[in-house]
Chain A
Amino acid sequence: MESTRAAFLCAPSAGRDATSASLLSHWWVAFAASSVFVVSGHLLIKAGLNGSAPLPANISAGIRILHSVFQFKVLAGLLIYLMGTVCWMRAVSQKEISFLYPLSSVNFVLIAAASMIFLQEILSGRRIVGIVLVIVGMVLMNARGKV
């Protein structure tokens, strides 16, 4: 079982790029990389979706989705997001998931801040309180011992 998982996670990078593979063998490097990729990937996807030209109302749903996916920013964003997922799996293979999950809620903060700065989104007080409650809940869910 362990060998299967190790093969899954290591096979693509083995021998191709020894430096990045050894860097990602520190859980915190893998975790930080996953956060940066997940957040920047999503920003790029949303920027691409914002910039796409509107289609006439009578176009079908499938075409609509394909039209929004196949543009440079969205595809690049998806690719970066995928890299983030791979890094996340590398982090999870080295550190307990109950430790990493609450830590990953830093993504919510980064996404909120980046949406304000780069996408000119307006965050209401209600939305900010909601995000804080989500983070508190995630820490609580994975906390050890009695609360």
Chain B
Amino acid sequence: MRGEKFDMNPKTMIWISVTLSAVAQIFLKQGLTRLQTRTPASQSLFSLTICVVSQPFIWLWGICFVAAMGLWLSGLQKLDLSYAYPLVSVGYVLVTILSAAVVRERVDGRRWLAVGVISLGVILIAGS
């Protein structure tokens, strides 16, 4: 990539950014859940910081978060704000699908209907 022309489509950047944010949320959830089971209830801010920093899932979250932010800013440079911002809702769809598929949470019919309606809206915005 060094010195080369970076010509990724700005729309692709926004899609990857939104996907990374959703994945980052899953990592953060994992990290914080592990943090709760491993840290004593009362502690100093310093030891809490050490616990947070030594958690690999928190690092994964941080990496995904920074990458998502960079892609978001470079994509947004070329696209309308009213186009890019509503695509954040792709995150709700992805988190629902991921929690059903990976975490094996039960997702009822109403939620799947909601996922369908949001996806339809996102398709319309993507084509606008």
Residues of A in contact with B (beta carbons under 8 Å apart) = 1, 3-4, 7, 11, 42-43, 45-46, 49, 52, 57-58, 60-62, 64-65, 68-69, 74, 101, 107-108, 111-112, 115-116, 119, 121, 123-124, 126-127, 129-138, 140-141, 143, 146-147
Residues of B in contact with A (beta carbons under 8 Å apart) = 1-6, 35-36, 39, 41-42, 45, 48, 70, 73-74, 76-77, 80-83, 85-86, 89, 92, 96, 110-111, 113-128
Most buried by B among A42, A116, A134, A138: A134
**Subset of 25 A-B contacts with CB under 8 Å:** A1-B41, A3-B42, A57-B5, A60-B2, A60-B3, A61-B74, A68-B73, A68-B77, A107-B85, A119-B80, A121-B82, A126-B125, A127-B124, A133-B117, A133-B118, A134-B118, A134-B121, A137-B92, A138-B114, A138-B118, A140-B113, A140-B114, A141-B110, A141-B114, A147-B110
CB atoms of A137 and B70 under 8 A apart: no
Closest chain B CB from A49 CB (angstroms): 4
Question: How many CB-defined contacts (below 8 Å) exist between A and B?
Answer: 139
